[in-house]
Amino acid sequence: MPYPIGHREEVRKNIVQSARKLFNRYGFENVSLHRIMAGAGLTHGGFYSYFKSKSDLYTEVLGCFLTDPEWKSCWEGVHVDLSSTDVGPQVVRAYLSRQHFEDVENSCPMVALPSDVARSGKNVKQAYETVFKAMVSILERSVAQKNRSGHTTARAIAALCVGGMVAARSLADRNLADELRDACMAMALKLGNWDTSGRRSSTSKVQGTERLSAVRGQRTGSRA
């Protein structure tokens, strides 16, 4: 009996999802193909009918809500509408949210896999670069300056979000990690000239400490 239409695409998606969770938690080198396929409910032997190699799969795993229109966020209380004019602050809050911090398996790969990528070949690095450029492009749409400085600002915000989460995940002190995320979020919002409601600030006189307090208050109220 033939498989239904769309079966192959669904199986491939399940393999990618299994690999993403395992790579994010254990790293590329520590995850076997057998374990990836088992996580997708499949046998090891079927892998090569979908991917040429483990590295080929790894390249496809390097995607997230910034590049994959079918990505479904599983972070309760976190929402990113890529069509919104205020998508920039949404991305900042999602990236530096408590939920993203705690959900290692469903992390954006730019946070979970940078060390693996740095040791990998050109194709993997290009895949990582594609996700980073997508994040910059999304942020740039919401940055106040529509010129060269706007592109530079968007790059800085993206680096602050990714680097801030990587650093926070590397700390043993959870309170310090949370404070670091809060600080990075406040500075990223300030760089984008966004107020805490997600709209561009009408004044540049708001102090960083006030922004940090507002961000913490929102995180406590919305759990995001």
Chunked mean pLDDT (size 10), the chain, 224 residues: 74 91 89 94 90 89 74 73 86 93 88 87 88 92 75 95 96 98 96 69 38 39 43
Q: What are phi and psi of 57, to 5 degrees?
A: -65, -45
Chain position carrying tokens 């106040």: 144
Distance separating alpha carbons of residues 96 and 110, to the nearest angstrom: 13
What's residue 158's pLDDT? 96
CA–CA separation, 35 and 41 (whole Å): 10
Domains and CATH numbers, the chain: 7-61 (1.10.10.60), 87-222 (1.10.357.10)
Does residue 222 contact residue 199 with C-beta atoms inside 8 Å? no
The three state secondary structure string of 101-167 is: HHCCCCCCHHHHCHHHHHCCCHHHHHHHHHHHHHHHHHHHHHCCCCCHHHHHHHHHHHHHHHHHHHH
Give me the pLDDT at residue 213, please. 38
Helix (H) or strand (E) holding 53: none
The predicted pLDDT at position 168 comes to 97
pLDDT at 5: 74
